């Protein structure tokens, strides 16, 4: 994942390029823990300079129900926000460019910032505390769901109904085989992965290229799911350290809805869990999900006893990744549309070192409610506002 989204200003890039070699030399002599902190702040400073000026885009559309029409304002590159527009609006919406703005002006709600019901801009560990102080919510672009494999597969399932589904799947003649041929990977990409992504995500889908899959397999493994002798699905998995396995991509033949209803995703997951446990892995990361807690794919993962975790920074090929895994969100809850956005799509918010749920008189799907039993906090901003007065992000007053 990119460190940070947004167009760069020339001066910022020049400053960032000067900083990087100096930091690299200094970091080599530091203890690991201190070096990690300095790396994160160095990457954050570099990102802030590179993204001092951000392009702004306005998106308008109908929320459906009694929400009326809403205006969203995005700062930075548009692809990271595709799921937001798709989640909120009842029909396809196009973004219009409204100019370039300093990130600090956006955070301080300066008078040159166009009006909105919800504004989003990318944050990093350096800009995050400033944003929080100004009343912005810090939202992860994605979250992970991690299973503890030290327990049995059956004990990792929440409901009796789902346990019966898994039992029925085990009774069928599904087999998992490791694949390695380039031709198998190409067949998987064209006949399974691309059709699946198109069917499941439509126009907001982001598709990795075939070369990206090949790079995943430099350290990853490629499995095919067979029913009798027919190859019906494929999955690529990647080790994350010694103990954790991450599910990277999955696809099934022609993206067929019938295969989905027959439990092909559950079947390949069960078989992958069996393999991961036999290979000595202690945890399995079910993959990334968007932060909307009523999102279908997220709740499908939560049928398992998975723990939700935030994006983490990590070093990959001497590059620090994950610093830009969050956005700042400013909801104008004084407006009906601002409240309707939160009511329609409650979401996960970073609060200190943990995640909590924020919404507005929102209904929560049963699959997610177990997270509250595990200690996750649920903040209904309608209740908080009534108790404490207007919420601080409600203000649109310019900060001098």
pLDDT at 400: 33
* Alpha helices (H) in the chain, listed in sequence order: 10-27, 32-50, 82-88, 103-107, 128-133, 160-171, 182-188, 194-201, 210-216, 257-261, 264-278, 296-301, 336-344, 366-373, 381-388
User: What is the C-alpha to C-alpha distance for residues 4 and 159, in angstroms, rounded to an integer?
Assistant: 39
Residue 205: CB partners within 8 Å, gap ≥ 6? 197, 198
User: What is the C-alpha to C-alpha distance for residues 73 and 113, in angstroms, rounded to an integer?
Assistant: 9
* Mean pLDDT to the nearest integer, 66-94: 87
pLDDT at 264: 93
Triad 239, 245, 250: Cα angle to 5°: 100
Query: Any idea of the CA torsion for 377, 381, 384, 385, to the nearest 10 degrees?
Result: 170
Domain ranges of the chain: 53-142+320-394, 151-281
Residue pair 5/324 in contact by the 8 Å Cβ criterion: yes
Q: How confident is the model at residue 39 (pLDDT cuts 50, 70, 90)?
A: confident
Q: How confident is the model at residue 111 (pLDDT cuts 50, 70, 90)?
A: very high
Least confident of 102-106, 298-302, 370-374: 370-374
CA distances from 90 to 60, 115, 138, 338 (A): 11, 21, 25, 16
Locate 320 and state its tokens.
């620090």
- CA within 13 Å, CB half, 325: 22
Q: Quick: pLDDT tens for 123-164.
A: 999 999 999 999 999 999 999 999 999 888 888 887 788 888
User: What is the C-alpha to C-alpha distance for residues 392 and 115, in angstroms, rounded to an integer?
Assistant: 17
Q: How many CB atoms lie within 10 A of CB 117?
A: 26
pLDDT at 394: 39
Least confident of 29-38, 58-67, 73-82, 106-115: 29-38
Residue 59: CB partners within 8 Å, gap ≥ 6? 71, 72, 73, 74, 85, 89, 93, 94, 95, 96
Q: Which residue has the higher pLDDT, 24 or 354?
A: 354
pLDDT at 104: 94
Q: How confident is the model at residue 313 (pLDDT cuts 50, 70, 90)?
A: low
> What is this structure's pTM?
0.81
Q: Quick: pLDDT tens for 339-397.
A: 999 999 999 999 998 999 999 999 888 889 888 888 899 999 998 765 444 444 433 33
Locate 273 and state its tokens.
């869990």
Which fold does the domain 151-281 belong to in CATH? Aminopeptidase (3.40.630)
- What integer best gives the mean pLDDT of the chain? 84
Residue pair 293/365 in contact by the 8 Å Cβ criterion: yes
Helix (H, G, I), strand (E, B) or coil at 374: coil
Q: Quick: pLDDT tens for 155-206.
A: 888 778 888 888 888 888 899 999 988 899 999 999 999 999 888 766 555 5
Percent of the chain whose predicted confidence (pLDDT) is above 70: 84
Instruction: Specify which of 28-32, 323-327, 396-400 reaches the highest per-range mean pLDDT.
Output: 323-327
């Amino acid at each position: 994942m990119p460190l940070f989204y947004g167009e760069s200003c020339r001066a910022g890039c020049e400053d960032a390029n000067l900083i990087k070699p100096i930091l690299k030399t200094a970091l080599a002599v530091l203890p690991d823990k201190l070096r990690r902190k300095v790396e994160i702040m160095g990457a954050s400073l570099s990102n802030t300079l590179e993204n001092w000026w951000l392009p702004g885009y306005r998106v308008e559309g109908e929320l459906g129900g009694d929400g009326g029409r809403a205006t969203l304002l995005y700062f930075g590159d548009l692809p990271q926000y595709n799921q937001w527009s798709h989640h909120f609006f009842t029909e396809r919406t196009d973004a219009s460019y409204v100019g370039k703005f300093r990130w600090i002006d956006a955070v301080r709600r300066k008078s040159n910032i166009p009006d909105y019901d919800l504004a989003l801009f990318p944050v990093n560990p350096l800009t995050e505390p400033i944003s929080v102080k100004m009343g912005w919510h810090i939202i992860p672009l994605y979250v992970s769901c991690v299973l503890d494999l030290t327990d049995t597969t059956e004990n990792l399932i929440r409901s009796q109904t789902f346990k019966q589904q898994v039992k029925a799947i085990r009774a069928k003649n599904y087999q998992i085989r490791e694949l390695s041929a380039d031709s198998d990977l190409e067949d998987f990409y064209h006949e399974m992965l691309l059709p699946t992504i198109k069917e499941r995500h439509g126009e907001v889908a982001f598709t990795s290229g075939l070369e990206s899959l090949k790079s995943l397999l430099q350290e990853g493994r490629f499995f095919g799911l067979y029913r009798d002798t027919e190859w019906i699905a494929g999955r690529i998995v990647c080790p994350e350290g010694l103990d954790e396995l991450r599910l990277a991509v999955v696809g099934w033949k022609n993206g067929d809805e019938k295969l989905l209803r027959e439990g092909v995703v559950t079947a390949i997951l069960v078989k992958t869990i069996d393999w991961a446990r036999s290979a000595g892995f202690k945890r399995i990361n079910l993959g990334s999900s968007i932060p909307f807690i009523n999102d279908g794919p997220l709740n499908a993962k939560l049928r398992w006893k998975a723990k939700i975790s935030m994006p983490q920074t990590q070093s990959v090929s001497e590059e620090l990744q994950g610093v830009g895994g969050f956005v700042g969100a400013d909801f104008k809850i004084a407006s009906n549309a601002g409240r309707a956005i939160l009511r329609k799509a409650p979401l996960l918010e970073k609060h200190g070192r943990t995640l909590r749920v924020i919404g507005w008189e929102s209904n929560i799907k049963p699959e997610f409610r177990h997270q509250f039993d595990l200690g996750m906090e649920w903040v209904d901003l309608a209740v908080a506002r009534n108790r404490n007065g207007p919420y601080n992000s409600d203000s649109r007053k310019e900060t001098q």
